């Protein structure tokens, strides 16, 4: 509903403008659910399907392994024509199994300390053979989670190993913690790359390349996806302890790392092995705990994003989208919001045979926006084409956005339709990072392609190594619909060579019309219609406007008005009786210790403009008063 208001406001104002191409009747606002449906796979009462791994089988059944060490085979998981799925316990007794694959009649499951091949040899759909394919040492620290296997084309398997948590990420407590390893068909374990902190999701893509998702933490300013090749160091120092081993493919040590808080891009200039992320996922905005990722190889069954990746976030119970390109031989690209609203912590995803995605979930002890402790859902494209930025690609002088549909030329040519800025994170041993070095990237020119499916943006202040936020929020399609998601974040490690765009006078952006990025939302979005602006100025709070702000700044990913999500409900915050200024301070410099009952610490949100935070703060405090008033009423009524 919040999005509905936001769209109404935006459309309403534009309707007053000169946009003649727009139909007279306001189109119905569209939501994610109009294109990608979440279908819940029913779980029988009594089964705690704390999904850690998923393995669709060629015959249409689905294998699911759980954090309680079970492997279930679900027959009829697509629930065709409203029929029910049937669950069989295939295996049990494993130790926090967080990955599952199916191959040649057996399941391969990664437990904390062992890669196990599970086979049913007597045809009763119950594994009777639990073979040790490979095992490895553990220290006994809970954070030494092990993930995989993911098969490559040769039938070898990749696994990833979390570092231990001892107040920081520590790899030395057990061999190869913090590493990507390969286990050959013969069961030989080979170290491949290190610098991994909490690599819950990774994939081998159609080129045979390994991409892994990292969770914000020490040495990791924000979530990200990194391409790992043999000998790479992905950033977290924990695993470097083992580079002294003879079979380590790199010799880097902890002492070689600059721990200065400079951007990772700068650190990588000094440390050759340090691998830059292909795509940063800005913390709290695009997730808080990167999980699984899968490449769209459905040839259109899942929609218009063939070759792209769907990346999940456990904490925010959502799917994001990632497009990659190779510039100077290295992967880089952009991430975009895609689909929210899963029931629990979306940790695992695999393609179903029909081009839908099975999403396995768990949140026990980890927390998630989806309030269920566990769950299994399917994300299904319903055949309608969403109006989205299909890709953002780097150009020598800016970016090119390709859309899924032709855009309305008028809004696309209008510089005020765009907000652009860039920023990055610190590279240091501390946990996480604030957004740093945020700067404007002024728009110099706009070129709309002849077929109106592409827009080339020529911008100033392109910065190598920086995350460039591209927000064409004013663009409409031919039907007058705004983008389903109005933002993408492009990680510009490399700027491609090539010719700069030749701008005509009409394509040039006049300096005065360039909007000021990194300030509050453009007026068209925040200025309420029907004269509510006056009310807002008079000190009263426009909850619709605040709803839009909460959404825009991703507050709603973790907070709801009255219910506990990842973080406390706003009504609980109101009870603390902070001043608006104190709330501002806490938004910029959160004190997780104030909320010891919440597993996930809040990120610093210094990138949110002060004016916006203060509006939100006033609204939060008004909630408290409302509640107090309601309680008072109750008391009075009770008399």
Partner 1 sequence: MLKRLFFLLFPVSVYAQTEIPLNDLSQFQKPSANWSIEGQIVGTPQGEALVTTPGKGILVNTLKAAKYQRTDDLVFALEHGDIRLSLDYMIPKGSNSGIYLQSRYEVQILDSWLKLRPSDGDAGAIYHRWDESRGAGKEGYEGHPPRQNAIKAPGLWNHIEIDFQAPKFDANGKKIANAKFVKITLNGVLLHENVELLGVTRGAVSTQETSKAPLMIQGDHGQVAFKNIRYEVFDKPLVQMGTAEYAYYKGKLADLKVKDQKPEVTGTTKEPSMKLAEAKSDFLLRFDGTITIPEKDTYTFTTNWTGTGALLVDNDTITTGSHWYNEDVQGKRTLTAGVHKYTLYYAKDFGWGPRALGCFVERVGTHRQSITERTSLPEPEATPLVEITIDQEPKLQRSFVVYNNRKKTHAISVGLPGGLNFSYDLNQGGFLECWRGKFLDATQMWHDRGEPQTAAPMGVTIQSNGKFPLAFIASANASFPDSLNKAELKYKGYQLVKQENGVAYPVFTYEYNGLSIKDQTIGSAKNEGLVRRLQIGGNAISSQPLYALVAEGEVIKNVGKNLYAINNQTYYLELLGETANQQAVVRQSNGKTQLLIPVSGLKEVSYQVTF
Enumerate binding residues for partner 1 (CB under 8 A): 67-69, 92-96, 111-114, 116-117, 122, 126-132, 135, 137-140, 142, 167, 364-366, 591-594, 596, 599
| Other C-beta atoms lying within 10 Å of the C-beta of residue 167 | 7
* CB nearer partner 1, residue 50 or residue 296: 50
For the CB of residue 67, give the shortest distance to partner 1 in the complex, in Å: 8
Nearer to partner 1 by C-beta: 114 or 214? 114
The label of the residue with tokens 């200039």 reads: 269
> Which residue in 435, 370, 428 sits closest to 603, CA to CA?
435
Q: Nearest distance from residue 130's CB to partner 1, in Å? A: 5
Q: Is residue 595 within 8 Å of residue 568, measured between CB atoms?
A: yes
Kindly state the tokens that stand for 593: 């210790």
CB 5 within 8 A of CB 550: no
Q: Tell me, rounded to whole angstroms, the distance of Cα 502 from its chain centroid.
A: 36
Nearest to 483 by CA among 571, 558, 402, 590: 402
State the residue for tokens 């999005």: 3
Residue 624 CB, shortest distance to partner 1, in Å, is 18
* Cα–Cα distance, 131 to 360 (Å, whole number): 25
Supply the minimum distance, in Å, between the C-beta of residue 240 and partner 1: 21
| 3-class state of residue 18 by DSSP | coil
Nearer to partner 1, 140 or 307 (CB): 140
Give the nearest distance from C-beta 95 to partner 1 in angstroms: 4
> Is the Cβ of residue 316 or residue 494 nearer to partner 1 in the bound state?
316
Rounded-to-5 percentages of helix, strand, coil across the chain: 20, 30, 50
Cα Rg for the chain, rounded, in angstroms?
Answer: 25
Q: Name, in order, each residue with C-beta under 8 angstroms of 63's C-beta and a sequence gap of 6 or more.
A: 53, 54, 55, 56, 57, 71, 72, 73, 74, 90, 100, 102, 107
Three-point CA angle 535, 541, 544, nearest 5°? 100
Nearer to partner 1, 67 or 468 (CB): 67
Residue 122 CB, shortest distance to partner 1, in Å, is 8
C-beta of 167 vs 531, nearer to partner 1: 167
Residue 337's H or E segment, with its range, is strand 330-339
CB closer to partner 1, 514 vs 604 = 604
**Shortest Cβ distance from residue 373 to partner 1 (Å)?**
11
Burial 525-548 (b: 16+ CB within 10 A, else e): bbebeeeeeeebeeeebbeebbbb
Q: Which is nearer to partner 1, 375 or 488 (CB)?
A: 375
C-alpha 125/C-alpha 72 separation (Å) is 10
- Of 364 and 575, the one with the shorter C-beta distance to partner 1 is 364
Sheet of strand 357-362: strand arrangement: 36-40, 374-381, 357-362, 346-351
- Cis omega (within 30 of 0) on the bond before 149? yes
Give the Cα separation of 130 and 111 in Å (integer).
Answer: 12
Cβ closest to partner 1, residue 58 vs residue 596: 596
CB nearer to partner 1: pick between 93 and 498: 93
CB of 312 to partner 1, least distance (A): 19
Q: Which is nearer to partner 1, 363 or 493 (CB)?
A: 363
CB of 193 to partner 1, least distance (A): 24
User: Whose Cβ is closer to partner 1: residue 132's or residue 629's?
Assistant: 132
Tokens linked to 618: 């006033």
Lookup: tokens for 93: 């007794």
Tokens of 638: 């009770």
State the nearest-atom distance from the C-beta of 365 to partner 1, in Å: 3
Beta carbon of residue 189, minimum distance to partner 1 (angstroms, whole number): 11
CA–CA separation, 313 and 320 (whole Å): 8
Q: Closest CB to partner 1 among 116 and 298?
A: 116
Six-digit token string for 423: 């920023």
Q: 3-state DSSP call for residue 239?
A: helix
Residues β-bridged to residue 394: 399
Two structure tokens written together for 213:
């998702």
Placement of tokens 């150009």 in the chain: 395
Nearer to partner 1, 13 or 599 (CB): 599
For the record, the structure tokens of 68 come out as 């309680």
Min separation Cβ 429 and partner 1, Å:
14
**Smallest distance, partner 1 to C-beta of residue 325, A:** 38
Please provide the DSSP assignment of 607-632 as one string.
TS-HHHHHHHHHHHHHHHHHHHHHHH
Check: CB of residue 312 under 8 Å from CB of residue 318.
Answer: yes
Q: Minimum Å distance from CB 153 to partner 1?
A: 26
Q: Are 130 and 118 in contact (CB under 8 A)?
A: yes
Question: What is residue 417's DSSP assignment?
Answer: G
CB of 166 to partner 1, least distance (A): 9
């Amino acid at each position: 509903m919040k999005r509905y208001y936001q769209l109404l406001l935006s459309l309403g104002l534009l309707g007053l403008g000169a946009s003649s191409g727009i139909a007279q009747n306001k189109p119905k606002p569209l939501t994610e659910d109009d294109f990608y449906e979440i279908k819940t796979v029913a779980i029988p009462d009594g089964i705690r399907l704390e999904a850690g791994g998923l393995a669709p089988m060629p015959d249409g059944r689905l294998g699911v392994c759980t954090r309680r060490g079970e492997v279930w085979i679900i027959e009829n998981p697509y629930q065709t024509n409203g029929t029910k799925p049937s669950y069989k316990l295939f295996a049990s007794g494993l130790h926090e199994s967080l990955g599952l694959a199916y191959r040649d009649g057996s399941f391969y499951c990664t437990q904390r300390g062992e890669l196990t091949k599970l086979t049913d040899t007597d045809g009763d759909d119950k594994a009777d053979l639990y073979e040790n394919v490979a095992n490895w040492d553990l220290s006994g620290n809970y954070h030494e989670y092990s993930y995989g296997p993911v098969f490559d084309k040769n039938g070898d398997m990749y696994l990833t190993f979390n570092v231990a948590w001892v107040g920081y990420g520590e790899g030395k407590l057990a061999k190869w913690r913090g590493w990507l390893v390969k286990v050959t068909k013969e069961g030989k374990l080979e170290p491949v790359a290190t610098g991994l902190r909490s690599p819950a999701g990774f994939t081998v893509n159609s080129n045979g390349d390994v991409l892994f998702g990292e969770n914000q933490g020490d040495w990791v300013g924000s979530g990200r996806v990194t391409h790992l090749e043999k000998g790479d160091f992905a950033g977290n120092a924990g695993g470097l302890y083992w580079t002294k081993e003879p079979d380590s493919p790199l010799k880097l040590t902890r002492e070689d790392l600059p721990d200065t808080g400079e951007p990772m891009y700068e650190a990588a200039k000094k440390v050759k092995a340090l691998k830059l992320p292909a795509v940063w996922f800005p913390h709290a905005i695009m997730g808080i705990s990167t999980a699984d990722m899968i490449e769209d190889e459905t040839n259109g069954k899942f929609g218009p994003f063939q070759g792209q990746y769907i990346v999940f976030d456990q904490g925010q119970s959502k799917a994001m989208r990632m497009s990659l390109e190779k510039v100077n031989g290295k992967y880089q690209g952009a991430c975009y919001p895609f689909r929210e609203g899963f029931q629990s912590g979306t940790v695992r995803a695999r393609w179903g045979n029909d081009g839908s995605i099975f999403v396995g979930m768990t949140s026990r002890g980890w927390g998630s926006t989806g309030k269920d402790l566990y769950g299994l859902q399917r994300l299904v494209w319903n055949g309608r084409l969403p109006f989205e930025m299909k890709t953002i690609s780097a150009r020598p002088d800016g970016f090119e956005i390709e859309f899924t549909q032709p855009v309305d030329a008028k809004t696309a040519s209008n510089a005020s339709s765009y907000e652009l800025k860039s920023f990055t994170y610190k590279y240091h041993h501390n946990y996480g990072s604030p957004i740093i070095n945020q700067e404007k990237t002024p728009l110099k020119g706009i070129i709309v392609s002849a077929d109106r499916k592409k827009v080339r943006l020529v911008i100033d202040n392109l910065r190598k190594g920086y995350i460039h936020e591209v927000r064409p929020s004013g663009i409409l399609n031919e039907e007058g619909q705004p983008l389903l998601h109005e933002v993408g974040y492009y990680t510009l490690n490399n700027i491609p060579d090539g010719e700069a765009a030749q701008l005509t006078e009409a394509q040039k952006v006049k300096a005065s019309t360039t909007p000021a990025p990194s300030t509050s939302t453009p007026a068209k979005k925040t200025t309420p219609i029907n004269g509510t602006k006056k009310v807002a100025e008079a000190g009263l709070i426009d909850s619709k406007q605040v709803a839009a702000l909460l959404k825009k700044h991703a507050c709603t990913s973790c907070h709801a008005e009255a219910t506990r999500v990842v973080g406390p409900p706003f009504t609980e915050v109101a009870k603390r009786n902070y001043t608006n200024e104190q709330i501002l301070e806490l938004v910029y410099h959160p004190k997780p210790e104030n909320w010891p009952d919440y597993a996930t610490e809040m990120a610093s949100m210094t990138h949110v403009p002060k004016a916006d935070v203060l509006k939100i703060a006033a609204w939060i405090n008004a909630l408290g008063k409302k509640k107090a008033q309601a309680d008072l009423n109750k008391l009075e009524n009770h008399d």
